[in-house]
């Protein structure tokens, strides 16, 4: 990284809670020079660092592919819940979509650092009983095979939202009160969106010895 100019970052999923929080950190961070967000609808954020591309079909990025070159990192925060989904549908919207986007970015930016937001409990063996964990595990494993400079798979658990963000998941209104208890009883399962964003920026600029980052890694990097 050129310390005088900072890194150029692509972020997906900024109309969701995780992506919005990561975007907020990048816009505040001096080490990030430019941010490109690729969304299906406008994110509503205006900032001198920020450029936005509205694109509906993430399974075909060819119409915008030439606009995705020249970036040092991608923070891939796009994802769906597996609740109520059959495995084939969830795999299509998780594995297929992510791998298509990643392959496109690898062609344009072979020196890119790719950061994928997975989840605690992801099954690297791809053989467990939990459908979502198997699909996420295969996604992580196949991302690691792509010709990027580095790939980091982030596995947050209980994520505390950043105050003031507009896309905080509705269920936090019902479970947010549990956060203080989780911090005391299960500190390895709770982190903040700020922690996640700062950890991503850290690995993109300085690297890390692990490619799978659990909650303790995320919190340690956020403080580094």
Q: What is the pLDDT along the chain (224 residues), one digit of tens a residue?
A: 444 589 999 999 999 999 999 999 999 999 999 999 999 999 999 999 999 999 999 999 999 999 999 999 999 999 999 999 999 999 999 999 999 999 999 999 999 999 999 999 999 999 999 999 999 999 999 999 999 999 999 999 989 888 887 877 666 666 666 777 777 777 788 899 999 999 999 999 999 999 999 999 999 999 98
Q: CA-to-CA distance for 201 and 133, rounded, in angstroms?
A: 25
Q: Which helix H or strand E contains 32, and what residues bound it?
A: strand 32-39
Which residue from 50, 34, 41 is spatially nearest to 13, judged by alpha carbons?
A: 41
pLDDT score at 176: 65
Predicted pLDDT of residue 1: 43
pLDDT at 80: 92
d(CA 199, CA 218): 6
DSSP string, 52-117: EEE-S-TT--GGGGGGS-S-SEEEE------TT--HHHHHIIIIIHHHHHHHHHHHH-TT-EEEEE
Pairing of strands 158-160, 190-192: parallel
């Amino acid at each position: 990284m050129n310390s005088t100019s900072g890194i150029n970052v692509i972020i997906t999923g900024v109309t969701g809670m995780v992506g919005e929080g990561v975007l907020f950190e990048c816009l505040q961070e001096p080490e990030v020079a430019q941010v490109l967000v690729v969304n299906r609808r406008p994110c509503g954020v205006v900032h001198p660092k920020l450029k936005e591309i509205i694109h509906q079909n993430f399974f075909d990025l060819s119409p915008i592919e030439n606009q995705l070159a020249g970036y040092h990192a991608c923070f891939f925060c796009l994802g769906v819940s597996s609740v109520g989904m059959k495995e084939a549908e969830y795999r299509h919207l998780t594995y297929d979509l992510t791998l298509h986007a990643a392959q496109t970015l690898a062609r344009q930016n072979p020196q890119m650092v790719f950061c994928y937001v997975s989840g605690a409990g992801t099954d690297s063996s791809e053989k467990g009983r939990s459908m979502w964990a198997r699909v996420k595990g295969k996604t992580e494993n196949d991302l690691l095979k792509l010709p990027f400079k580095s790939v980091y798979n982030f596995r947050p658990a209980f994520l505390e939202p950043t105050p003031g963000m507009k896309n905080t998941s509705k269920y936090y209104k019902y479970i947010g009160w549990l956060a203080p208890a989780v911090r005391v009883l299960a500190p390895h399962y709770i982190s903040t969106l700020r922690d996640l964003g700062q950890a991503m920026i850290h690995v993109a600029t300085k690297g890390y010895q692990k490619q799978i980052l659990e909650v303790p890694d995320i919190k340690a990097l956020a403080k580094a």
